[in-house]
Amino acid sequence: MTDTAPQAHQADLLANLPAALRDRAAALDAADPLAHHRDLFAPSEGLIAYLDGNSLGRPLAASRDRLASFVDGPWAARLIRSWDEGWMDAPTELGDALGRVVLGAAPGQTVVADSTTVLLYKLARAAVAARPGRGVIVADTENFPTDRFVLEGIAAERGMELRWITPDPEAGVTPQEVAAAVGPDTALVLLSHIAYKSGYVADLPAITRIAHDAGALVLWDLCHSAGSVPLSLDADGVDIAVGCTYKYLNGGPGSPAFAYLAAGLQHEVRQPVQGWMGSADPFAMGPGYEPAPGIRQLVSGTPPVVGMLPMRDMLALIEQAGMPAVRAKSLALTGFAMDVADEYLPGVRVASPRDPERRGSHVMLDHPDFRRVVAQAWERGVIPDFRPPQGLRVGLSPLSTSFTEVALGLWTIRDLLG
């Protein structure tokens, strides 16, 4: 429920809920230690329930002010001088903040640049080149299309074999499946930490160890992880990771992605898109390319300075709330959503893990009429998303979502199912 819906309409919607559901949602909201953060997000007129925070996070009101002040401040007032006054260092400075707040990464290992697809290509291509003599890339058939498509291109370019794991779509890739797929011929394993359909959380530490025992590098896709579950990339020995910033980091549409490259690999992994901003001395305008030392080498072109602005506000909010509290509310929200589906949505099947340790911050519901239902729900101000063949994905961003909002949204889904 949002402040923008007329109070009378809110009352009518709430009155339609079963008393037990309405009271439970209200009690959970009253006990929520993060509830006050919802008021920090910009209002959305006509919105009843936003259940798609895992696709595009809602904007913070502070970001409106930050964007406006940027135009009049560092852009208009300082113009090109702003490159020397902070813009040039923004990719690594913001990367360090990401590492500290959500990734469990020490400084000097994270950079903000490009899109997820471009960074996946850069890092996957660099990883296989760093393991010469190994001709196999291991991936899974349930991963997001971009990840699979990028690997198909790299395998074709390098003459490598793509070895596919076909996991249970609702369980995700297991350590046992990875162990059966890797070997002395494996250069790279690329997996998503949280499955984009089911929300399954892979056993990142165990899978990373298995790949390392085989001599391979691991690239983790953190698009559905960063900002929703606590991460410990350094402690878990992660090699490489890539993620987007427009989901739980609320960077806005088209906000840049981030890449993590462990300090111990920075001397041997050389990314293939050799742009001037990633060179050792960009303004030397020299005849040949020499990579910048450290994480800066992953930068290729001009840093997306404007696209980084809203993310700063969300990172500050996440740091204030703390990732453990964010994770606790995420589990409470997803657990509540599954309970509502079980009790009030006849014919709907929960297609996400019941085990909270294996569940991210979204829930997949399954029903043959969901393509129609999602389109009609949008018209009523209830916004989940649809994933073929018949999945309705309930994405719950903990800092901007209430339990009453979830109840109203899912009750609308029940009404539309008829």
> Is residue 217 within 8 Å of residue 266, measured between CB atoms?
no
Phi and psi dihedrals of 370, rounded to 5?
-70, -25
Cα 292 to Cα 75, 83, 106, 112: the distances in Å are: 27, 18, 19, 15
Active site members: 144, 221, 246-247, 393
Name the residue type at position 37: H
Which strand (E) or helix (H) includes residue 75?
A: none
Burial class (CB in 10 A: 0-12, 13-18, 19+), 166: exposed
DSSP strands (E only) in 83-127: 110-113
d(CA 205, CA 183): 18
Which residues, at least 6 apart from 175, have a Cβ–Cβ distance to it below 8 Å?
203, 206, 207, 210
Name the residue type at position 151: L
Largest CA distance in the chain: 73
Residue linked to tokens 């649809």: 386
Q: Is 253 helix (H, G, I), strand (E, B) or coil?
A: coil
Token pair for 115? 């899109």
d(CA 42, CA 234): 35
Residues in the chain: 418
d(CA 50, CA 396): 8
Which strand (E) or helix (H) includes residue 350?
A: strand 349-350
